[in-house]
Amino acid sequence: MPRIHLIRHGETDWNRDGRIQGHSDPPLSATGREQAQALAESLTAEPIGELWSSDLRRALETAEPLAARLGLDLRVSPALRERSFGVNEGRVAAEVAAELGTVAGTAWHGPDDRHPEGESLRELYERMAAFLDAVLAESPAEEIALVTSGGPIRMARAYLAREPVEAVVWAAVEHCSVTTVEV
């Protein structure tokens, strides 16, 4: 039975400042780089056989120390990107939430709503489902690590539990946290 480790990237300055990142590409902050090193040290003993990362810099900078520590090639996929928040990327989340009449840090709206020029939660869920299905069908590894963002982790966790997008719990996902799911 394969195990998937869902890993959130380290902190960026935008995270610290409460800015919406989405597909925008800020690098890790100094704290984020320290978190990535600590993550790599903490997972050294795990029998991870395959390591994937989003193509966004914050995920790559988190995954690279882990790849080096484990001696693995790092596979990269844009399918692991955070949800696109369109025109609201770079803006302070609390300001956008106030405009939309929601609470900062929540799913913003229903699963089919989107920020202007952005992506819906359902689209993110379907993107993650297709990626996970392909990896699980093709990978011989018993343990796979995916370095991504909070939104894709929530969607992957729900999909692997065979829950619909409407059941996704919008709980906090800490920087460099590891959520392990047995498939």
Question: What does the pLDDT read at residue 58?
Answer: 98
Domain residue spans of the chain: 3-182
Residues noted as catalytic: 9, 82
The whole-number average pLDDT for the span 36-52 is: 97
- As a whole number of angstroms, the distance between CA 114 and CA 107 comes to 10
| Per-residue DSSP letter, 12 | B
**Rounded Cα gap, residues 51 and 139, in angstroms:** 11
Q: What order of strands is seen across the sheet that includes strand 3-8?
A: 74-77, 50-54, 143-148, 3-8, 178-182
Element of type H or E holding 148:
strand 143-148
What pLDDT does residue 98 have?
83
Q: What is the DSSP letter of 157?
A: H
CATH architecture of 3-182: 3-Layer(aba) Sandwich (3.40)
- Nearest alpha-carbon partner for 84 in 116, 52, 59: 116
Q: How many other CB atoms are found less than 10 A from the CB of residue 168? A: 21
pLDDT tens, 80-93?
999 999 999 999 98
For residue 171, the model assigns a pLDDT of 85
The pair of structure tokens assigned to 85 is 């928040």
The pairing of strands 74-77 and 143-148 is unpaired
pTM for the predicted model, two decimal places: 0.95
- Average per-residue pLDDT in the chain? 94
Arithmetic mean of pLDDT, 42-67: 98
**pLDDT for 155-181, tens place per residue?**
999 999 999 999 998 889 999 999 999
Q: What is the pLDDT at residue 104?
A: 54
Q: Is 90 left (phi over 0), alpha (psi -120 to 50) or beta?
A: left
Mean pLDDT of 89-108: 76
